[in-house]
Amino acid sequence: MKKGQVYEGVVERVDFPNKGIVKVGEETVIVKNSLPGQKIKLGVNKVRKGKAEGRLLEVIEKSPLETGRTCSHFGLCGGCTYLSLPYEEQLHIKEEQVKKLLDGVLQAQKQSYIWEGIKGSPRAYSYRNKMEFSFGDEYKEGPLSLGMHKRGSFYDVVTVDTCEIVDADYRLILKTVLGYFAETNVTYFHRLTHVGYLRHLLVRKASRTGEILVALVTTSQYPFKQSGEGAPEDWEPARRELIDGFRTCLLALEQEGTLQGSFAGILHITNDSMADVVKSDRTDVLYGKEYFYEELLGLRFKISTFSFFQTNSYGAEVLYSTAREYVGELGGADKTVFDLYSGTGTIAQLMAPVAGKVIGVEIVEEAVEAAKRNARDNGLTNCEFIAGDVLKVLDELEDKPDMIILDPPRDGIHPKALPKIIAYGVERIVYISCKPTSLVRDLEVFLENGYRVEKAVAVDQFPWTANVETVVLLSQQKPDTTISVKVEFGEGEGKVPLDKIAERAENYKPKERVTYKMIKEYIEAKYGFKVHTAYIAEVKRDLGLPMYDAPNAVEELKQPRKHPTAEKVEAIKDALKRFGII
């Protein structure tokens, strides 16, 4: 088999996420975006160490499984992979993919785990609550289009006006906005030349209330196609008129009663970034407000333009209910739960009623502010949210968890954060993963450090796409065997004196772990002033003490760094003596 050659073959199976496995004679070729049972024509792109990769050229014969309904964009749009299959077949494929990946790593653990299959989305169609449509053209120099990127292309955009994974309001808004701008001689932003005006259309809709948030994303460049003379000097009035027309055409939909929902807000976002991402340099509210509220499992969440929130509200309820079930009973109202990679705090707030304290850690500051606000709105007072990288924040936290919940991004947990999480030694960990290949990589590390997987389940949050969520319950391994020893206590031959047992127990009793918080409280109570964590760490380093409680990269002071005064050094040394550290 050589690069550039064309072959025919039948797809035997599809591995995660969308890798069709095709047998060509004795050779195996990976062909993305193919389906089990299809007979295809493929072109070989790469051959390396006996492994070949190819691209799908043509489906010669459909799979016998392809009996599902499709939309007119299927195969062109890069969004859906399994749309031509019945939903049950798609669930079967995803379940097999996740189970195969888990079995590959969990064969290393002695005890078997419970596989609970896959839970489907309550809605297979019209389930998405957020879409980011792109402006462009479907072919070079073609008419204006608005939708999703064409499969395999970074530049071409397919107008997805019959998309099946959103409801009728999304399709109506897309058609209306595209129709308006198609008649205005306006330019779109070329991703190669970075010239043009229209970039994206962001649409969000609350699944429970039907409120809709629409944001038009443009550059600050001259909006219209230019003649040879270039742009006029005073074109701002024309730009304002263009944006006013955009707002007016949307509001007309609501006034005519053609929308199922209603507009919470219409926004204009200016973004001059070179990257093809939806972000804001400036946001203008054209109508209403910048947010709406979504309801999930009895809790209320404020959703703004860039808030992180699961894109399938109905599926999210299944996912979070499963996580709550895996957490189980914590065994007391004094228990502390760490929710790492907490996003807008959805999981943390669901755990709050059964925990004494929940601490969420999230690197996106806007998400943390939203989490604090949502917890306050839901009347939850035992949730604390910290903005920062999990890798660094774990070094600064003085609280110790009784339970840890992990919901990392697609790439999984940072390799340097894993040992810090494992070092807490909590009895149980619930890991929620949106990418099973990252999950199994991290599970290998957990298994090597004394944990085992008790049970796992897949949850379909993204029908018709190649993505799937997985929830795993990890627990510390128990000894395989126990040894029973008969001991008699008392005085006399062969008996163990009780006073000796008590003395021995006292000698070997583990010392209470001294935290920076305890040292700071002792100093404030005795000396009447406060000392910073960084000062304590500096004194400990000077004394040559181990720094496992706080690494050298301790929290920096908010003001220019100063060293502790002699008075504070003596107070810190006194505290270290008081707690038996020196």
Catalytic residues: 434
In whole angstroms, how far apart are CA 463 and each of 235, 424, 581? 45, 37, 57
DSSP H/E element including 22:
strand 19-24
Q: Which residues contact 216 (CB under 8 A, 6 or more apart)?
A: 177, 198, 200, 201, 243, 246, 267, 268, 269
* 476: β partners: 451
Residue 76 Cα distances to 151, 153, 352, angstroms: 6, 10, 45
Query: Which of 157, 148, 160 is closest to 72 using CA atoms?
Result: 160
Q: Which helix (H) or strand (E) holds 337?
A: strand 336-340
Strands 27-32 and 51-61: parallel
Please state the separation of Cα 121 from the chain's center in Å: 18
Instruction: Give the dihedral sign, CA 258/259/262/267.
Output: negative
Q: Name the region of 4 (left: φ>0; alpha: ψ -120 to 50; beta: rest).
A: left
- Burial bucket for residue 451 (CB in 10 Å: 0-12, 13-18, 19+): buried
Give the whole-angstrom CA distance, residue 546 versus residue 333.
34
Residue pair 187/225 in contact (Cβ under 8 Å)? The answer is yes
